[in-house]
Amino acid sequence: MSAAPAVIAPEPLPSTTGRRRVLVSSVSSDSHTWNLVFLQLLLEELGHTVTNIGACVPDDLLIAECRRHRPDMVVISSVNGHGYLDGRRLIARLRAEPDLAGIPVVIGGKLGTRGAEGGSHASELVEAGFDAVFEDSAGIGEFRRYLAAPQTPALHHDTPPVPVP
């Protein structure tokens, strides 16, 4: 069976209180949206400004939205079981664009069709170009720690926080 349910403790995250811009997106074949709504709320509560571009996002649209918003971080979520296929393809596309090659991009969710028995897709996806991979509900705790860690790219770089509109 899959990993244990995530325990979400309301840990203080003082180092991430500065507002950063995060782009939340699904992949091209995945229409699930509760995951996106949840991630948006979570990131907003951590103090970030989120643009949620929704379900079934073709690679070209994701690239265009990255150029339009210039986010500090891209958070990809997929739960339909095609995440490792779609993720592998989209990160190759993104990394091939010189102006987007360095943008921090993470992915999480139910990435294959076989649950925990199917093994992990994490190393394959990191190799393909993602900065981090968070699998299913256990991923939420890791994701919070990742966001809080001082070495996390983008969320701790020196550009000033985006002013509150």
User: For residues 33 and 49, which CB has a smaller minimum distance to another protein in the complex?
Assistant: 33
Closest-CA residue to 145 (of 119, 118, 110, 106): 106
* Interaction between residue 52 and another protein (CB under 8 A): yes
CB of 55 to ligand B12, least distance (A): 6
152 binds, among ligand B12, another protein, none (CB under 5 to 8 A by kind): none
Angstrom distance (rounded) from CA 153 to CA 147: 9
Angstrom distance (rounded) from CA 3 to CA 115: 9
The secondary structure of 125-144 as a DSSP string is: HHHHT-SEEEETTHHHHHHH
Contact 83, 133 (CB under 8 A): no
The secondary structure of 2-65 as a DSSP string is: PPPPP-------GGG-S--EEEEE--TT----HHHHHHHHHHHHTT-EEEE--SS--HHHHHHH
Part of the chain binding another protein (CB under 8 A), chosen from 15-23, 50-58, 99-107, 145-153: 50-58
User: For residues 14 and 114, which CB has a smaller minimum distance to another protein in the complex?
Assistant: 114
Q: Using CB positions, name the residue nearest to ligand B12.
A: 108
Binding flags for ligand B12, 54-93, as an x/- string (CB under 6 A):
---------------------x-x-xxx------------
> Under rule CB under 8 A, which residues in 96-135 are in contact with another protein?
110, 112-118
* Interaction between residue 6 and ligand B12 (CB under 6 A): yes
Among 28, 50, 147, 154, binds another protein (CB under 8 A): 28
> Under rule CB under 6 A, which residues in 126-165 are in contact with ligand B12?
134, 136-137, 139-140, 143
Contact 76, 108 (CB under 8 A): yes
CB of 133 to ligand B12, least distance (A): 8
